[in-house]
Structure 1
Amino acid sequence: MKTITLNLLSHRNTDRIGIAFQWDREVLNHIKALPHVKFSKTLGVYYVNYTSENKKLLYAHFRKKNWYVNYSKLSGTPQKTISTTEHVELPPLHEKDRENLEKFKKWLNQKRLSPNTVATYVEVTAFFIRYAHLKQSKTFTVRLLENFNYDFIVRPNKSVSYQNQCINGIKKFLEYKGVHLENITISRPQKEKKLPTVLSLDEVKQLIDAVSNLKHKAFLALIYSAGLRVGEAINLRPNDIDSKRMLIHIKSAKGKKDRYTILSATLLELLRMYYKAYRPKNFLFEGQSGGAYSHASAQRILKKARYKTGLKKQITLHTLRHSFATHLLENGTDLRYIQQLLGHNSPKTTMIYTHVSERSIRNIRNPFDSF
């Protein structure tokens, strides 16, 4: 019998329920299907907020699979946040450190970096400063940076993408501090070239049909039918929908570029019904307290839809964008138009969809069939 261990944790000054398990794909998928579950890179564990409702939810969720749930560690003093460096607790930030990080954050914002990039750079810099306190280093040296890279990133087997973000963030911090280090031997690892997950037309339809909430249905349909990034969708304004020209105006997208993408007639009818029911004021899709819809709320829509349909593929909202591009290619749309609709700088980025196009692969004659 598979065992799930629930731990009482303290993360970001809040009590959480950590979900520990021996790695198993079925268990992982079942955990990801939970509402409000998050993954902490700091703790290396999935967790939810510590509430009596969540305790009952977790127990019932895992017992559906007849798995053993060990909740004996949900009492007592919460475990403190730990780092990924061999589970050694990093010292806390000093007050001066917090002030420096706040100034660093403002400096990054002045560089017009995206909010997600700023948050990541500040987070990893905070870990780097705490690591310096752990090593009792009063200055930022090449050796300290190399050791941090090994202890914090390489040894815990962090992703290549995260490693590049860490290197970028720390280098930005050193630039901000006016610190120049000679002979840094940390190289940027090449990112793995993985093919994107793509859904079939039937799978996309199942996902959208599984959503009963009109607002959520319209949001998923928008992402797919226009091939939008999540940030582009949540930042849309009602007047960005040009129903006369059947276009959607994407403003200040990735790379600070504007572009137009196509507006589906079916989506337009769905958006009109949604608009009459919800009357959004500033953003096309707004949160309950106003303002733009959050990334977390957007991802939860897809997670619930995937859970309802029982889809086994590991997907995100970006999968809908990949599927849009692939389906256009399979319908014979020229790659140059797809590149323009997606807002890619280089045609090389768009070319990846030729590798996942089902129709293109099916049209290749297998030499074994000649025997």
Structure 2
Amino acid sequence: MQIYLRQTEDELRLRNYSKKTIKNYLLCLKVYFNFKKSGLEQTDLALIKEFLLSKQEKGYSAQTVNLYLNAIKFFYREVLKNPQEIDLKFAKRSKKLPVVLLREEIGKVLASTQNSKHRLLLSLAYGAGLRVSEVVGLKVKDLDLEGLTIHIKQAKGKKDRITVFPEKLKTTIQNLIAGKDKNDWIFSSERGGELTERTAQKIFEKALKKSGIRKEATFHSLRHSFATHLLENGVDIRYIQELLGHQNIRTTQRYTQVTNPSIKNIKSPL
């Protein structure tokens, strides 16, 4: 099993997959190998289907089940060079609307964050529409404070993009990065290294709880709120697509459902 996992890791690294994808694929394959137990080099469609169904029955999301399927397909097709096609349909993703915080709620979350560096981290994630991995991975050289832009490098899908930097945070961020080298992390940990994604998520969770907001919001809701509030401000959806780094406009169009003014203007007959 370990040999196959090493071979898979090497193949993923050669193809320049992200660290996160490599980690996830290897974890999925390890679980699958333990389930299959023997004959790992043989493609058994019935067993793969049984394995994926067991994940669905345990309540795994469609996205997670697809991740397992993609990892298995990669192993047989790219590592073992097995010509047999794994003709299994992808699980349908649930079409949940993104959880968006109102502007007032964003203000409450930020006001509930006592630590000034933590408050800046959340403010920047919201004000620039950043993923948690992007905000913790920011370096001083990624900021253009004169042009009020941020260069996001090697984001999701290994793509670079430019997004806006909120002018309101300019002075605060200048004070934070004063004396830092251009290659230093903006939000470093207490030991000076890169802040972990989980730490950033805990900062948000703590602030949300303290604010008293009962929505099932996550760190990613800051990014959802950024997009929704830009739409409400009348910004063209194509520009929002570029700022978020969405490959497909349909991904961005989800926010039009959240901010639909026609629905909001309808009054209940009750």
Q: Do these two structures clear the TM 0.5 threshold for a shared fold by scoring above it? A: yes
AA partner of residue 181 (structure 1): Q
The secondary structure found in structure 2 opposite 1:261 is strand
Give the conservation status (yes or no) of the 8 Å contact 2:131–2:223: yes
Shift of 1:102: 2.3
Alignment partners' CA distance in 2, 1:101 and 1:340:
36
- Which residue does 2:139 correspond to in 1? 237
Partners of 2:9 and 2:255 in 1: how far apart?
37
Given the alignment, which residue of 91, 95, 98 partners 1:196?
Answer: 98
Residues of 2 paired with 1:366 and 1:296: CA distance?
41
Q: Which residue of 1 aligns with 2:47?
A: 144
Q: Which has the higher Rg, Structure 1 or Structure 2?
A: 1
1:286: how far off? Answer: 1.7
In the alignment, structure 1 residue 167 sits paired with structure 2 residue 85: no
What is the RMSD of the two structures over their aligned residues, measured on CA atoms? 2.1
Of 123-132 and 153-162, the range deviating more from structure 2: 153-162
In 2 relative to 1, CA 216–358 (structure 1 residues): closer, same or farther, beyond 3 Å?
farther
Aligned to 1:349: 251
Q: Within 1, Cα distance between the matches of 2:40 and 2:121?
A: 50
The CA distance in 1 between the partners of 2:206 and 2:59, in whole Å, is 30
| Partner Cα separation in structure 2 for residue 269 and residue 323 of structure 1 | 23
Task: Please list the CA deviations of residues 308-333 of structure 1 after superposition, one character each: whole Å capped at 9, or x if unmatched.
Answer: 11221111111000001111111111
Partner of 2:149: 247
Asked if 1 retains the 8 angstrom alpha-carbon contact of 2:161 and 2:243, the reply is yes
Matches within 5 A, 1:85-100: 97-100=1-4
Q: Is the 8 A contact 2:140 2:180 kept in 1?
A: no
Shift of 1:104: 1.5
1:228-264 Cα offsets, whole Å, 9 max, x none, are 1112212221121111111111122223222221111
Q: Deviations over 1:10-33 (max 9, x none)?
A: xxxxxxxxxxxxxxxxxxxxxxxx
1:225–1:143 CA distance, 2 compared to 1 (3 A): same
Q: Deviations over 1:165-192 (max 9, x none)?
A: 000001111121222335x453112211
Equivalent of 1:125 in 29, 44, 58: 29
| 1:178 correspondence with 2:81 | yes
Q: Which has the higher contact order (CA 8 A, sep 6+)?
A: 2
1:293 aligns with 2:195: yes
TM-score, normalised to structure 2, is 0.91
**1:154 Cα deviation from its structure 2 partner:** 2.8
1:143 is aligned with what amino acid? A
Counterpart AA for 1:121: Y
Counterpart position of 2:209: 307
Larger fraction in helix? 2
Contiguous gaps of at least 5 residues in structure 2: none
Q: Distance in 2 between matches of 1:358 and 1:203?
A: 19
Q: Against the structure 1 CA distance between its residues 102 and 313, is the aligned structure 2 distance closer, same or farther, given a 3 Å change threshold? A: same
Whole-Å Cα distance in 2 between the matches of residues 327 and 361 of structure 1? 16
Deviation at 1:360, TM superposition (A): 4.9
Instruction: Please name the residue that 2:233 is paired with.
Output: 331
Question: How many residues are treated as equivalent by the alignment?
Answer: 267
Task: Give the conservation status (yes or no) of the 8 Å contact 1:354–1:360.
Answer: no
1:211 and 1:305 in contact (8 A); partners too: yes
> What is the percentage of aligned positions where both structures have the same residue?
35
Could you state the TM-score of these two structures normalised by the residue count of structure 1? 0.67
Name 1:70's counterpart in structure 2.
none
Looking at structure 1, the residues matched to 158 and 59 of structure 2 have their Cα atoms a distance apart, in angstroms, of 33
Structure 1 unaligned blocks of 5 or more: 1-96
Measured in 2, the distance between the counterparts of 1:367 and 1:319 equals 27
| Bigger strand fraction | 1
2:19 aligned residue (115, 118, 142): 115
Q: Quick one: distance in 2 between partners of 1:247 and 1:191? A: 33
Structure 2 CA distance for aligned equivalents of residues 309 and 355 of structure 1:
26
